[in-house]
Amino acid sequence: MKPLRSILLAILLGLGSGLAWPGPATGDPTLVAAIDEAARAVNPRVVAWRRDFHEHPELSNRETRTAGVVAKHLEALGLEVRTGVAHTGVVAVLRGNADGPVVALRADMDALPVTEETGLPFASKVRATYRGREVGVMHACGHDAHTAILMGVAEVLTGLRDRLPGSVVFLFQPAEEGPPDGEEGGASLMLEEGAFDDPEPDVVYGLHVTSRHRFGEIGLISGGAMASSDRLTLRVRGSQTHAAYPWDGVDPIAVASQIVLALQAIPARRVDTRVGSVVSFGAIHGGVRNNIIPEEVELLGTMRALSPEVREQIHEKVRLTATKIAERAGAEVDIEIRRGNPITWNDPALVRRVQPTLDRVAGPGKLVFPLAWTGAEDFSRYQERVPGVFVFLGVNPPGVDPADAAPHHSPGFLVDEDAMVIGVRMLGQLAADTLSGALPAAD
């Protein structure tokens, strides 16, 4: 890192020698106004991009068309563009008027194996193969909006590059929902393939649209914002026998049932309940006939936690509990824990510093502080490398209570496109305030 970058990074993070980030907490009014005006001007194109992506969704590591649209736009802006990162990812660099701090902004591009039921005129009719089955494909988590918003931010900031004393790295990432079986992908592969190498970011920001907030609300969480996520596979082996004579064998279905109930109770009774955690099962496979007790049952589940300590405790207690239950019944159990995304950790010092920017963008009463999510995000991989903040943008139509809205990953998930300009303003102003010195000093 160059000496000037080292000094600016110390200022940015408020570290070490008491250096304070200069400038008012409210930002440069003329730059704020310019970003807002440019965001409104580009908004019709942002909506059009989003509708195009929504109508043509692509599964993880297969986002070829989406990446092509993104890259063409970024190249037309005159940015330094790399394609084919982590299979289909796109990385672009905007260099401002000085060798100052570097801000990374991230959007994810992949869709889900969900058959759409929204009735929108641009609803997806795409079919694809997922794990050997033909499925519908839908942007049921809002990644189409994320991608379109960041394309808009790139256009806004490019038009203001002469006022930005630093650089912006735009990350258009594939496979946030997880790569196909047997493949690598997502944020970890983006990093392995150099997404943070030239230039190296000092901070990273990202957003997720959500039906959990009211229209236009911006959700900000300090510390653990989203949980770690680990896959759990259990194979319970008994002894096959006629169902009329269960005493002649060992029933793995009964043993598996006991294990499910015991493991799901771990977050409520065996780890600190002040820290959010979940053990859930999504699939049970075993047996072929009603009157045959099978030899083996397979359980597929997920473990979530909002602290590293509780995450490790759950792993330990899952192994111990499942093993002891199986042994007591005369069965055996194989336990496979596949570590997934770490906790999405919003750096508390950086959260405090960006709060005035987010409050300004959201408007009176619209910056909210929700509880942490037990969902997971591979944005956390970037936060392992540099301080970062991941925020949530409410996209329910005005007047729709979040309790009544279709949830993420459901066939009825909707995005009110009028909220997208807020996303463009938010990421644009976060980047500009960070680069121009408008964030308040660290505590």
User: Any idea what the CATH number is for the domain that residue 101 is in?
Assistant: 3.40.630.10
Residues 350 and 211 in one domain: yes
Residues 36 and 168 in one domain: yes
Distance in angstroms (rounded) separating the CA atoms of residues 410 and 405? 10
From the number of C-beta atoms within 10 Å of its C-beta (0-12, 13-18, 19+), residue 365 rates as exposed
Residues 190 and 287 in one domain: no
Output the pLDDT for position 26.
60
Residues 127 and 254 in one domain: no
Residue at a domain's end among 322, 339, 356: 339
The residue whose two tokens read 């807002």 is 36
Domain span including residue 286 = 228-339
Residues 179 and 282 in one domain: no
Output the pLDDT for position 442.
76
Under 8 Å between Cβ of 259 and 234: yes
Q: What is the pLDDT of residues 280-290, one digit of tens each?
A: 999 999 999 99
Residues 6+ apart with CB under 8 A from 424: 39, 42, 43, 46, 149, 152, 153, 156
Give the number of domains in the chain.
2
- pTM check: above 0.75: yes
Residue at a domain's end among 291, 316, 339: 339
From the number of C-beta atoms within 10 Å of its C-beta (0-12, 13-18, 19+), residue 334 rates as middle
Distance in angstroms (rounded) separating the CA atoms of residues 149 and 166? 21
User: How far, CA to CA in Å, does 436 sit from each of 98, 167, 200, 409, 433?
Assistant: 10, 11, 18, 38, 5
Residues 84 and 166 in one domain: yes
Collect the ranges in the chain with pLDDT lower than 50.
1-4, 6-25
Residue 443 is assigned to a structural domain of this protein: no
Residues 326 and 388 in one domain: no
Residue 442 is assigned to a structural domain of this protein: no
Torsion sign over Cα 318, 321, 324, 325: negative
